[in-house]
Structure 1
Amino acid sequence: MIRHVVLFKFKSGIDWSDPRAQAAERTAAQVGVEVPELHEWRHGRNVSDRPIAYDFLVEGLLDDMDAVGRYLVHPFHQDAITQWRDISNWVMVDVEA
């Protein structure tokens, strides 16, 4: 199993009051429903005010790296990427679970 974790940090001038951030959050919430390769899907806003904190997290559980590859190109996931790319930068990690 592979645990896929992504942390998003808003670009300058973006916060949760921005309608684009709210739309990206709604889309991210549905990725777990729309992408069949995902066994688990979590998402959430950061609640810490520490300066090093990121703003949003998504985390999924997939069978293997082949499943990760299918997840990455899934059209719904691609739509989510497009929304987040406009408003944030991110870091990610895939680890064996």
Structure 2
Amino acid sequence: MLMRHIVLFRRKGEVAKDAALEKALTQRMALLGAQIPAIQGWKFAANELSRPICWDYVLEAEVADAKALDAYLFHPLHQALVADLKPYFEWAAVDYTT
């Protein structure tokens, strides 16, 4: 069994769209999975349809267990990215065992 970590991201409503910043942040998100040893699977994608219910991006990570998830969540590279994401994006997460 693995633990799956799903995160949805969208630009905060009160924040003006900044295409260059958003591209830089999403590129960092896309590459982070290869930089943290605890991560066994990593998918990052942009939403393709324009519907009011949709968020802008989805991240799917797979790790061995809750301990490995903590290793990822508290990894310095992840913490640095979170600090840079906070002013621009809001997010929602779900963690579950497969």
* TM-score with structure 1 setting the length: 0.92
Runs of 4+, deviation exceeding 4 Å: none
Look up the equivalent residue of 1:57 and give its one-letter code: V
Q: Distance in 1 between matches of 2:86 and 2:71?
A: 20
Deviation at 1:4, TM superposition (A): 0.3
Q: Provide TM-score, normalisation by structure 2.
A: 0.91
Return 5+ residue gaps in structure 1 as ranges. none
Match of 2:66 in 1: 65
* Greater helix fraction, Structure 1 or Structure 2: 1
The percent identity for this pair of structures is 29
Q: How does 1:1-97 map to 2 (within 5 A)?
A: 1-12=2-13, 13-15=15-17, 17-97=18-98
**Could you tell me how far 1:18 is from its partner in structure 2?**
2.3
Task: Provide structure 2 residue ranges, at least 5 long, that are not aligned to the other structure.
Answer: none
* CA displacement at 1:78 relative to structure 2: 1.1
TM-superposed CA distance for 1:19, in Å, is: 1.7
Q: Secondary structure of 1:26's match?
A: helix
1:14/1:21 contact within 8 Å kept: no
For residue 84 of structure 1, report the CA deviation from its aligned partner: 1.6
**Cα deviation per residue 1:31-87 (whole Å; 9 max; x = unaligned)?**
111111010000011111000100011110000000011100111111221222111
RMSD over aligned Cα atoms: 1.2
